[in-house]
Structure formats: structure tokens, C-alpha cells
Chains A and B, each alone.
Chain A
Amino acid sequence: NAGVTQTPKFQVLKTGQSMTLQCAQDMNHEYMSWYRQDPGMGLRLIHYSVGAGITDQGEVPNGYNVSRSTTEDFPLRLLSAAPSQTSVYFCATRIGISSYNSPLHFGNGTRLTVT
């Protein structure tokens, strides 16, 4: 039982390059989300999904795309990376969007640097 798995752990991109951050979960959670963590800013919600085929924007969605074709996977795409996207990215899942009694389960993060 791996929980939430994020790949890669580290990535360096040049400005303008594209890449996909992967997030996979084996807990059959309906709710999946992406956060970015920056010093002094806490965690900010980028995009989230309440189930396969359904996605929505969070607080800071610009420059990022997501899709949810399966329950297990929720990839985050950067189409044209910018230095402002240098950050640590966390995928987090929960049983359901209204399951407040259940905690968010976090992956170990992807540290992205854009030069």
C-alpha cells in the first residue's frame, strides 16, 4: 500500500520547456489536489478533482493544466515553464470532497527548479 506517489522527486527545467508531474494513489480516494509550497507563502491550491473526469481550479491555477482520466492518477502539466513556477509541488488526496473527518494524504513532493 504505497499511498500517494509523486514522480519525479527533483526536476530542473529551462524556461519555456514543458513537463508533467505525476501523482498516483492506491487508496481509491475520490478527491485529489495539487498544491505548491513556497517559502513564507504556505501551501496554495493549484487544481483539484472530485472524481474521474472532473477538475476545477484552485487559488493559483494559471500556467498549469490537469486532467483526471482515472481515479488513481492526477497529473499536473506545465506547458511552458517559467522561473516563477520554481517551487515544491505536493499532491494530496482525500476520500471525498466533503469527507472533512478524513485527513488529506500527502505525497513526498516534487522539487522543481526553472532556470
Chain B
Amino acid sequence: AQSVTQLDSQVPVFEEAPVELRCNYSSSVSVYLFWYVQYPNQGLQLLLKYLSGSTLVKGINGFEAEFNKSQTSFHLRKPSVHISDTAEYFCAVIRDDKIIFGKGTRLHILP
């Protein structure tokens, strides 16, 4: 089974609208969860992480994610997107001490 699943390969959203990018993880992996962002022609950078504690995690650029153990989910949200949020977003988990990435969700901001 996939360690981490991102159900949406692309998400179009209008500027200033809210967005949610979905991520589900396998119950067989550790509950260390991450979201990374990749802007065009760049490497990835960390957006936020959940290691323990509060299930609502705040990251950079106004993004937040909620860890839901019962639903094995770690969805990423932003209340109002900006054109500069155009990027690909990757959910990641730890499996056997290695960071395993989902297939990514490309966020398209519509004017």
C-alpha cells in the first residue's frame, strides 16, 4: 500500500478563495508528517510539519494543516490564496527513517 496518497494531481482555485489540498497516509508509517512546496524550477522547501502535540499546525505563507489520526489524514489549507502560491505541493511521511513523498498536487491560481 502507498505510504502517502495525494488524491488530487491538480487543484484550480480562484485568487483570494480558500483551498484544501488532501493527503492521506498509511497507518503503517510513523506519524511524522510534512508538507513541502516546490516553486517552478526550484527544489522543495518545508512548509510545515507535524511531529507531536497540537493537531493543528501552522506553517509559512499562511498555510496550516490538521492531523487527523482517525481518518489518517493531514490536509493542507489556506483561507485565501494568492497568485504567488502557484506551485506544486508534496505531502511526506517518515517510513523506516526515510522521508517518502506523495505524488504531488499542482495548485493553479485563477485570476
Mark A residues whose CB is within 8 Å of B.
4, 33, 35, 40-45, 48, 58-59, 90, 92, 97-98, 100-101, 103-104, 106-109
Which residue on A lies nearest to B103, using beta carbons? A42
Residues of B within 8 A of A4 (CB): 43
CA distance A111 to B105 in the complex (A): 21
Judge whether B32 and A100 touch: CB under 8 Å: yes
- Enumerate 5 A-B pairs (CB-CB under 8 Å) in ascending A order: A42-B104, A45-B100, A100-B51, A104-B44, A106-B43
Min CB–CB distance B10 → chain A (angstroms): 10
Q: Please indicate the chain B residues that have their CB under 8 angstroms from the CB of A109 in the complex.
A: 42-43
The interface residues of chain A lying within 8 Å CB-to-CB of B43 are 4, 90, 92, 106-109
Q: By CB atoms of chain A within 10 A, which of B32, B94, B99 has the most?
A: B99
Q: How far is the CA of A104 from the CA of B47 in the complex (A)?
A: 11
Which listed residue (B9, B94, B101, B104) contacts A100, Cβ 8 A? Answer: B94
Interface residues of B (CB under 8 A from A): 6, 9, 32, 34, 36, 41-46, 49, 51, 90, 94, 97-104
Neighbouring B residues of A106 by C-beta, 8 Å: 43-45
Pick the contact of B98: A42, A48, A101, A107 (CB < 8 A): A48
Asked if A104 and B99 sit within 8 Å, CB to CB, the answer is yes
The DSSP consensus for interface residues of chain A is loop
Query: How many Cβ-Cβ contacts under 8 Å join chain A to chain B?
Result: 54
- Which chain A residues lie closer than 8 Å to B6 at the CB level? 42
Shortest C-beta distance, A55 to chain B (Å), equals 13
Q: CB-CB < 8 A to B97: which residues of A?
A: 97-98
Distance in angstroms from A49 CB to nearest chain B CB is 12
Q: For the complex of A and B, list the 9 residue pairs with the smallest distance between their C-beta atoms, beginning with the closest.
A: A106-B43, A103-B46, A42-B103, A43-B101, A42-B101, A100-B32, A106-B44, A42-B104, A97-B97
State whether A58 touches B98 (Cβ < 8 A). yes
Q: Which A residues touch B104, using CB under 8 A?
A: 42-43
Residues in B whose Cβ lies below 8 Å from that of A101: 49, 51
